[in-house]
Amino acid sequence: FVNLEDNSKSTEFMYMGGANLELSRNICLLAEYTNLSSLADKNFNGLISVGFRFRSEKTAWEIGGIRPLEKVEGLILFPILKATLTF
């Protein structure tokens, strides 16, 4: 996506926005948008990720998916699974 060795542009901005909807005490719905300034300059519409977070006292599990906002043939969502353990 981005060539980090390219010195023609000295700064890179990452744009992110998200929402968190609490469905219950232990479950929430997540949605996030991400884009980079160099990709936005090339008319890339960014990435959207959606999923659910299941949490307990010491752990949290996120299951969801990510995809570009552009039409991608045959891709619905690229799956994501993340676990967090609090010590």
Give the pLDDT confidence score for residue 6 in this predicted structure: 59
Predicted structure pTM score: 0.69
Q: Return d(Cα 8, Cα 35) in angstroms, integer.
A: 19
Residue 30: pLDDT above 90?
A: yes
Q: Return d(Cα 25, Cα 75) in angstroms, integer.
A: 32
pLDDT digits (tens, 9 = 90+) for 37-87: 777 667 778 889 999 999 999 999 999 999 988 877 888 889 999 999 998
Give the pLDDT confidence score for residue 85 in this predicted structure: 94
16: confidence class by pLDDT, cuts 50, 70, 90: very high
Amino acid at 83: A
Q: Which residue has 């981005």 as its token pair?
A: 2
Give the pLDDT confidence score for residue 17 in this predicted structure: 95
- Of residues 12, 70, 72, 81, the one with CA closest to residue 41: 12
Q: 48: burial class by Cβ within 10 Å (0-12, 13-18, 19+)? A: middle
22: confidence class by pLDDT, cuts 50, 70, 90: very high
